[in-house]
Chain A
Amino acid sequence: MFTQRITAALAGATALSLALAGCGDSGGTSSSSGEAVTSLSILDYYNNEPDKSLVQKGLDACATKLGVTLQRETVPGADLIPKVLQQASSKTLPDVLMLDNPDVQQIAATGALAPLNDLGVSADGFTQGIVDATSHDGKLYGLAPVVNTIALFYNTKLLAEAGIQPPKTWDELRAAAKKLTKPGRYGIAFNANATYEGAWQFLPAMWTNGGDETDLTSPQVAEALQLWVDLVTSGSASKSVINWTQGDVKDQFVAGKAAMMVNGPWNIPSLNESPQVKWDVVQFPVNKPGQTPIAPLGGEAWTVPLNKDEAKQQKAADFVKCLSSDDNELAWAKARFTVPTRTALGPQYVKEVPSMKAFSEQVANARSRTGKLGEKWPDAAKVIYQAIQLALTGQASAQDAFKKASGS
């Protein structure tokens, strides 16, 4: 106790003298912008294991490289935007901010983020879809090292038993789903709930068929909705899809209550925990031969909020750049079952992680949700999920649903 107090006193005295020495030294020679940046604060929503520590590894690697220490804060996914709003109004945004890619344009439009082009960061060699998502008014506001998308998972054992090949067209999908439906088991599971998640799950069908969010009343979009309607009304998919989340969909698949599912690669770790379920993945089927499967891009981008301290802002930009280096992209992609955004890394990645082949192919042609509509995307997404709900509950036909949902 006594010695502790002496140590504390000595430490205090040392600190004081150092501070005084510091004051004496700085007389006129160094300006504030020239001070070395020694720490960066970070906010992200990877608050669950194993993602939390896997992300931490990549962050630490870049911190060591740039000679900074990190103050990282993680919040649950749903709390991120409220937290960002809170910090924005109290001017306490972190130096490096992670955002879900469809949110980047909305936040950038408020003027809260620093354009990365001015800070020596570019997205050359990145897959175009993600560059669209993280750009606003021709400027780059974030970099996403890895991305994901959704495709068709299927239970290899159940398909083999039924003598079915994984479907490549919608007709094959309808037929396969029907044939795989048995008492207590549905052919396919997907999420059609009344949230942005429900809209996101519909996009592979809509975009693959040539539908477009700028004109939701087109016949191509209606055809895609008809696919969802057919799967539910034929009994090949549960009527509960209108309330399911993607997590529910995965649970159905793992429990053997669905032979196929539309879902993303983030489920692979939890699928691997149930080795009795044998599965594989194919790209989302096409309506007519010759079409290319186009799915939406998921994943998070790292951005730099505007900072008066230019040195810190520059350091933060360097940090974001480092997170998208070849090494880190590959490390994160392998550890977290995501796809690297630098297209050149694709072949090597698929060689090392064969289970990600279908997702890598699907990402190559994938589009971002905000690529065309920018900050107006949430309005379109709302119309999409409401139309799906109207059609699946029989309140409107697939042809009329979008008109009805948009209120015209």
Chain B
Amino acid sequence: MVHAPTRPSRSEAPATQAVRRAGGRRRRSEDLTKLLFVLPAAIAMLALFGYPVVKNLVMSLQDYGLRTFFTGAAPFVGLDNYVTVVTDRLFSKALVNTALFTIGSIAFQFAIGLGLALFFRRKFPLSSLLRSLLLLPWLLPLIVSSATWRSILEQDNGILNRSLAGLGIINEPVPWLNSPSVALIAVIGVNIWIGIPFNVTLLYSGLSEIPDELYEAGSLDGATGWKAFLHITMPNLRAVAGVVLVLGVVYTIKVLDIILGLTGGGPANATQTLATQSYERSFVDFKFGEGAALSNILIVLSLLFAIVYLRGTRRAVDE
């Protein structure tokens, strides 16, 4: 009787089945409840995120111009829009500028932000007041910041050149926003100023999470100062730093208002980025198809960074 033990006895079977059935019903209604919880968020995501992305994708394959709004006709043109924007003589310049702008901004924002966060870890009088004052650039509307910086950086009467000249640091006024070779640096500088609070805030909270015991134990083993930073602070800050950097890249790569406010992409296209080009094609030239194509390229670039970030964090979790 090999099969006997595996086969359920007749008297037993209905009971187990009933239990199983009841359990299944409960599980199903539980599933339904779960689904209902997810549904609002899913609908919101689809309506506010999914639809624009899909619409943008479709638009980038269409000849979508001024006329479309009146006639509704937007003929499909395949990849023509992508070809047009990629072969444009400003594309490579905009791409390089986007890279320089992003890397330059992030590197300095992060370094200065980390420095300030470490500085504020030491308790000193007024430290929390100073730390909250540091948030100011973040609280100002970007259009206000850029208008203010535009007047600060003005070549003839801007306060920066006047101060530098008064201190004897420069003899000739620096053409901050007027020279194609300086303008990008000036724009990056302003963006660094705007991004510092974000970096300080997140890195500071990351630093506060590191238990003091680690530093105490480390100091017993002789790890103080620079060594403590390298072997205790950095490894423990890795997760937060990762978030700060990836969010920083995603925010910076698409920056538009600061550049528009400061230089409008000029002088002589020196500060054109993919974002400003996309804006210009859509809302100045009314070639929405081409603008959509450029913005899709931009989305793919940010997506690449997001994937790198997700893989990085997954590896950290696995470890």
- List chain A positions with a Cβ less than 8 A from chain B: 81-82, 85-86, 88-89, 106-107, 109-112, 193-195, 238-240, 242-243, 257, 378, 382, 386, 389-390, 392-393, 395, 407
Whether the Cβ atoms of B179 and A393 lie closer than 8 Å is: yes
Kindly provide the distance from the CB of B12 to the nearest chain A CB, expressed in whole angstroms. Answer: 68
With contacts A88-B69, A110-B70 taken as known, whether A240 is within 8 angstroms of B269 at the C-beta atoms is: no
Whether the Cβ atoms of B178 and A106 lie closer than 8 Å is: no
- Please give, as numbers and ranges, the residues of chain A lying within 8 Å of B263 by CB-CB distance: 243
With contacts A238-B156, A239-B175, A395-B180 taken as known, whether A194 is within 8 angstroms of B265 at the C-beta atoms is: yes
B285 at the A interface (CB under 8 A): yes
B123 at the A interface (CB under 8 A): no
Whether the Cβ atoms of A390 and B70 lie closer than 8 Å is: no
With contacts A85-B69, A112-B70 taken as known, whether A194 is within 8 angstroms of B266 at the C-beta atoms is: yes
Whether the Cβ atoms of A193 and B264 lie closer than 8 Å is: yes
Whether the Cβ atoms of A239 and B66 lie closer than 8 Å is: no
Q: In the complex the two chains form, what is the Cα distance from A392 to B264 in whole Å?
A: 16
Among B69, B263, B285, B286: residue with most chain A CB under 10 A: B69
Whether the Cβ atoms of A89 and B266 lie closer than 8 Å is: no
B114 at the A interface (CB under 8 A): no
With contacts A110-B70, A395-B180 taken as known, whether A389 is within 8 angstroms of B269 at the C-beta atoms is: yes
- Please give, as numbers and ranges, the residues of chain B lying within 8 Å of A89 by CB-CB distance: 68-70, 72
Whether the Cβ atoms of A195 and B264 lie closer than 8 Å is: yes
- Please give, as numbers and ranges, the residues of chain A lying within 8 Å of B264 by CB-CB distance: 193-195, 243
B268 at the A interface (CB under 8 A): yes
| Given A109-B67, A240-B155, A243-B177, 16 additional A-B pairs, CB 8 A | A85-B66, A88-B70, A89-B69, A89-B72, A110-B71, A111-B71, A194-B266, A195-B264, A238-B156, A239-B175, A242-B268, A243-B266, A257-B156, A389-B266, A393-B178, A393-B268
**Of all chain A residues, which has the CB nearest B173?**
A239
Among A107, A257, A393: residue with most chain B CB under 10 A: A393
B267 at the A interface (CB under 8 A): yes
B314 at the A interface (CB under 8 A): no
Whether the Cβ atoms of A194 and B69 lie closer than 8 Å is: no
- Please give, as numbers and ranges, the residues of chain B lying within 8 Å of A81 by CB-CB distance: 286
- Please give, as numbers and ranges, the residues of chain B lying within 8 Å of A194 by CB-CB distance: 264-269
Whether the Cβ atoms of A390 and B268 lie closer than 8 Å is: yes
B80 at the A interface (CB under 8 A): no
For this complex, 21 residue pairs linking A to B, each with C-beta atoms less than 8 Å apart, are: A85-B66, A85-B286, A109-B67, A110-B66, A110-B70, A110-B71, A112-B70, A193-B264, A238-B156, A239-B155, A239-B175, A240-B177, A242-B178, A242-B267, A242-B268, A243-B178, A243-B266, A386-B269, A393-B267, A393-B268, A393-B270
B257 at the A interface (CB under 8 A): no
- Please give, as numbers and ranges, the residues of chain B lying within 8 Å of A407 by CB-CB distance: 89
**Among A193, A239, A378, which residue has its beta carbon within 8 angstroms of that of B266?**
A193
Whether the Cβ atoms of B285 and A378 lie closer than 8 Å is: yes
**Of all chain B residues, which has the CB nearest A185?**
B156
B283 at the A interface (CB under 8 A): yes
Interface of A is mostly: helix
Q: In the complex the two chains form, what is the Cα distance from A247 to B89 in whole Å?
A: 32
**Of all chain A residues, which has the CB nearest B181?**
A393
Kindly provide the distance from the CB of A302 to the nearest chain B CB, expressed in whole angstroms. Answer: 19
Q: In the complex the two chains form, what is the Cα distance from A382 to B272 in whole Å?
A: 15
Kindly provide the distance from the CB of B214 to the nearest chain A CB, expressed in whole angstroms. Answer: 52
Whether the Cβ atoms of B154 and A386 lie closer than 8 Å is: no
- CB interface residues, B 120-163, toward A, < 8 Å: 150, 154-157
**Of all chain B residues, which has the CB nearest A390?**
B268
- CB interface residues, B 273-298, toward A, < 8 Å: 283, 285-286
Q: In the complex the two chains form, what is the Cα distance from A218 to B142 in whole Å?
A: 42
- Please give, as numbers and ranges, the residues of chain A lying within 8 Å of B175 by CB-CB distance: 239
- Please give, as numbers and ranges, the residues of chain A lying within 8 Å of B154 by CB-CB distance: 240
Q: In the complex the two chains form, what is the Cα distance from A235 to B177 in whole Å?
A: 17
The interface bits of chain B over 3-29 (1 if a CB of A lies within 8 angstroms of the residue's CB, else 0) are: 000000000000000000000000000
Kindly provide the distance from the CB of A58 to the nearest chain B CB, expressed in whole angstroms. Answer: 28
Kindly provide the distance from the CB of B136 to the nearest chain A CB, expressed in whole angstroms. Answer: 26
Kindly provide the distance from the CB of B297 to the nearest chain A CB, expressed in whole angstroms. Answer: 20
Q: In the complex the two chains form, what is the Cα distance from A184 to B157 in whole Å?
A: 9
Kindly provide the distance from the CB of A276 to the nearest chain B CB, expressed in whole angstroms. Answer: 19
Q: In the complex the two chains form, what is the Cα distance from A389 to B150 in whole Å?
A: 18
Q: In the complex the two chains form, what is the Cα distance from A407 to B67 in whole Å?
A: 26
- Please give, as numbers and ranges, the residues of chain B lying within 8 Å of A389 by CB-CB distance: 266-269
Kindly provide the distance from the CB of B157 to the nearest chain A CB, expressed in whole angstroms. Answer: 8
- Please give, as numbers and ranges, the residues of chain B lying within 8 Å of A240 by CB-CB distance: 154-156, 177-178
Among A110, A195, A407: residue with most chain B CB under 10 A: A110
Kindly provide the distance from the CB of A369 to the nearest chain B CB, expressed in whole angstroms. Answer: 15
The interface bits of chain B over 55-88 (1 if a CB of A lies within 8 angstroms of the residue's CB, else 0) are: 0000000000011111110000000000000000
Whether the Cβ atoms of A106 and B268 lie closer than 8 Å is: no
Whether the Cβ atoms of A111 and B70 lie closer than 8 Å is: yes
Q: In the complex the two chains form, what is the Cα distance from A81 to B70 in whole Å?
A: 12
Q: In the complex the two chains form, what is the Cα distance from A109 to B177 in whole Å?
A: 38
The interface bits of chain B over 182-218 (1 if a CB of A lies within 8 angstroms of the residue's CB, else 0) are: 0000000000000000000000000000000000000
Q: In the complex the two chains form, what is the Cα distance from A394 to B270 in whole Å?
A: 13
Q: In the complex the two chains form, what is the Cα distance from A106 to B264 in whole Å?
A: 24
Among B89, B179, B268, B269: residue with most chain A CB under 10 A: B268
- Please give, as numbers and ranges, the residues of chain A lying within 8 Å of B179 by CB-CB distance: 239, 393
- Please give, as numbers and ranges, the residues of chain B lying within 8 Å of A88 by CB-CB distance: 69-70
Q: In the complex the two chains form, what is the Cα distance from A341 to B43 in whole Å?
A: 55
- Please give, as numbers and ranges, the residues of chain A lying within 8 Å of B265 by CB-CB distance: 194
**Of all chain B residues, which has the CB nearest A81?**
B286
Q: In the complex the two chains form, what is the Cα distance from A378 to B72 in whole Å?
A: 22
- Please give, as numbers and ranges, the residues of chain B lying within 8 Å of A86 by CB-CB distance: 69
Q: In the complex the two chains form, what is the Cα distance from A111 to B70 in whole Å?
A: 7
The interface bits of chain B over 233-273 (1 if a CB of A lies within 8 angstroms of the residue's CB, else 0) are: 00000000000000000000000000000011111111000
Kindly provide the distance from the CB of A304 to the nearest chain B CB, expressed in whole angstroms. Answer: 15
Kindly provide the distance from the CB of A270 to the nearest chain B CB, expressed in whole angstroms. Answer: 19
**Of all chain A residues, which has the CB nearest B266?**
A194
- Please give, as numbers and ranges, the residues of chain A lying within 8 Å of B155 by CB-CB distance: 238-240
**Of all chain B residues, which has the CB nearest A382?**
B285
Kindly provide the distance from the CB of A22 to the nearest chain B CB, expressed in whole angstroms. Answer: 35
- Please give, as numbers and ranges, the residues of chain A lying within 8 Å of B157 by CB-CB distance: 257
Kindly provide the distance from the CB of B207 to the nearest chain A CB, expressed in whole angstroms. Answer: 41
Q: Nearest 7 CB-CB pairs, A to B?
A: A110-B70, A389-B268, A194-B266, A85-B69, A88-B69, A112-B70, A239-B178
Whether the Cβ atoms of A386 and B285 lie closer than 8 Å is: no
Kindly provide the distance from the CB of A224 to the nearest chain B CB, expressed in whole angstroms. Answer: 18
